[in-house]
C-alpha cells in the first residue's frame, strides 16, 4: 500500500535513521513532494522496503561477528597480560644489569685515574734516572729540605 511519509516517519517504521531513509528514497528514485509545513513527503510502499537484518560484509549476521570479535579481544588481553608479566621479569634483569654497569664504569674511572698517576710517577722516575744530579741540583734539594735536617732540637730542662 502506497503511503505519503516524511523521512523521519520512514526511519521510524524501518527502524533506521532519517538519513538512512533519505538514502533509500534517493537510491530507489521514489517520487517526492513538499508538504505545506515545508517537510518532504515521499510516496513509498513499506511492504516492498521491509527492514533487513544487519549483515556484515562477509554475509554473517552482525551478532556472530561481534561474538567473534569479543572472543578475539579476550584472547589478545590474555596474551597482553602474559607479555606484561614476562616483561616485568626482563625489567628487573635490566635494572640489575644497569646497576652493575654503573658500578663497572665507576671502578673503571678510578682505575684510569690510578693508571694516569702511575704513568706520571714512572715518567718522573725515568727523568730522575736519566739526568744525573749535579752538585748544584743536590744543594737545591738540600736547601728545600734543609730546614728539616738542620733543625737543632730544643732541650728543655
For the chain, the structural domain boundaries read 2-45, 53-129
**What is the separation, in whole angstroms, between the first and last Cα of the chain?**
143
What b-and-e string marks burial along 31-41, b requiring 16 or more CB atoms within 10 Å of the CB? eeeeeeeeeeb
* Length of the chain, in residues: 157
Query: What's the average model confidence in pLDDT over 50-75?
Result: 75
No. of helices (H) and no. of strands (E), the chain: 4, 3
Q: How far apart are CA 119 and CA 113, in angstroms?
A: 10
pTM of the model: 0.35
Question: Higher-confidence residue: 124 or 78?
Answer: 78
Query: What's the average model confidence in pLDDT over 58-74?
Result: 81
Amino acid at each position: 500500500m502506497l503511503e505519503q511519509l516524511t523521512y523521519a516517519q520512514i526511519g521510524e517504521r524501518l527502524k533506521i535513521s532519517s538519513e538512512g531513509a533519505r538514502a533509500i528514497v534517493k537510491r530507489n528514485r521514489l517520487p517526492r513532494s513538499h508538504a505545506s509545513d515545508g517537510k518532504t513527503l515521499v510516496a513509498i510502499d513499506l511492504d516492498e522496503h521491509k527492514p533487513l537484518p544487519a549483515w556484515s560484509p562477509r554475509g554473517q549476521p552482525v551478532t556472530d561477528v561481534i561474538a567473534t570479535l569479543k572472543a578475539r579481544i579476550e584472547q589478545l588481553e590474555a596474551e597482553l597480560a602474559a607479555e606484561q608479566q614476562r616483561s616485568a621479569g626482563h625489567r628487573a634483569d635490566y635494572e640489575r644489569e644497569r646497576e652493575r654497569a654503573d658500578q663497572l664504569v665507576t671502578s673503571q674511572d678510578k682505575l684510569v685515574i690510578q693508571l694516569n698517576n702511575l704513568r706520571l710517577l714512572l715518567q718522573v722516575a725515568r727523568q730522575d734516572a736519566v739526568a744525573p744530579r749535579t752538585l748544584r741540583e743536590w744543594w737545591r734539594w738540600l736547601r728545600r729540605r734543609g730546614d728539616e735536617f738542620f733543625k737543632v732540637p730544643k732541650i728543655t730542662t
